[in-house]
Amino acid sequence: MAIEIRATGSAVPSRRLTNVDLATEVDTDDEWIRSHTGIGSRHIADDNTGCSDLALDASRAVLTAALKQEDCREKTLEEIALTLDMIILATATADYYGCPSTACIIQHKLGARNAGAVDISAGCSGFIYGLEMAAGLLGLNTSRKRILVIGAEVLSRFIDWNDRGTCILFGDGAGAVLLEKTGNPSTGSGKRGILRTILKADGAGADYLIIKKGGSRNKFKAGEIIKTPPHIEMNGRAVYNFAVKAITGIITNLLKEESLTIDEVRWIVPHQANARIVSAAAKRLGIPEDKFFLNIEEYANTSSASIPIALDELNRNGKLSRGDLIMTVGFGAGLTYGGNLIIY
């Protein structure tokens, strides 16, 4: 039995905000942003688009892709939605505060009446955590077969556009995969699916990446005048140092635990936070930078959506083939970090 990614999908808002566009509103310029982050543009949701809307579009895209699979060709999108056993949504920018979960909204609109639904919050590592949670749920129960794992964010709603240190970094989008339990082997010759996952956290760095206002720790008070809406605050240097260490450690340990060399890995798909972080990690490990797949130039940092968006882009562009060994690696608020080793 293997837990495999059977299909991928993604969705981004149509509005594309380039660095040049942003420089008309913020004291910055294209050259500075590119040289410090590798970002050239980001996609921004309109006022009527919430997290569930992008997640729903990505979900429909992944189920439509699944219909091309041999065992699903006779089904409609509505019929395959009914075969889902669970929907796991990783997000830090849910439609509503606390409840209901955004995953439940997606479950209803998708018509996945037989599926459970849950949101998880693990920052930019959320999709990595979601994959492992889904794999565990599929492995624990023999009757479960398919789980939809989504990463979706509307980060533009939680940015202080007057803070040029953070507003240049983030974009909106969603990515999803259909995870399925198959009859292929998970060990030995011809093994497939998720081979190993490492999940870690360092809560001592919780203040390094935080939205302070609005929770039970720092609630809004009746009659309070809100001068600045809740927004992301970041200690950039601390996050950078943590991220480089996290990436190098996860890659090293995943390879060691499976007795693999980096030459056997087709792609490393990192969280798309900053191209300089990836470059520094690659240099420390002696790995060619072209081993890492980056699309940060187009989408910026979409948090939990960045890895599934990148996986879908690889897949749609023919750069990902069945049997390829790939690695995901990410880090984010919490602080959290982790990675998955997968035979696609």
Which of 19, 274, 301, 340 is an active site residue? 301
Q: How far apart are CA 241 and CA 202, in angstroms?
A: 13
Specify burial of residue 264 (Cβ count, 10 A radius: 0-12, 13-18, 19+): exposed
Active site residue 108: no
72-111 as b/e: b if 16+ CB within 10 A? beebeeeebbebbbbbbbbbbbbbeeeeebbbbbbbeebe
Q: Is the torsion defined by CA of 234, 237, 241, 244 positive or negative?
A: positive
Q: How far apart are CA 38 and CA 276, in angstroms?
A: 7
CA-wise closest residue to 43 among 63, 57, 61: 57
Which of 167, 271, 274, 340 is an active site residue? 271
Which of 72, 104, 124, 167 is an active site residue? 124
How many Cβ atoms are within 10 Å of 162's Cβ, its own excluded?
12
209-223 as b/e: b if 16+ CB within 10 A? bbbebeeeeeeeeee
Active site residue 114: no
How many Cβ atoms are within 10 Å of 230's Cβ, its own excluded?
17
Tell me the β-bridge partners of 7. Answer: 178
Active site residue 51: no
Tell me the β-bridge partners of 90. Answer: 120, 151
* DSSP string for residues in 84-139: --EEEEE-SS-SSSSSS-HHHHHHHHHT-TT-EEEEE--GGGHHHHHHHHHHHHHH
CA-wise closest residue to 171 among 36, 326, 304, 289: 304
* Residues whose CB falls within 8 Å of the CB of residue 58, separated by 6 or more in sequence, listed in order: 9, 10, 11, 150, 152, 174, 175, 176, 308
Residue 22 · residue 161 · CB < 8 Å:
no
* Residues taking part in catalysis: 124, 271, 301
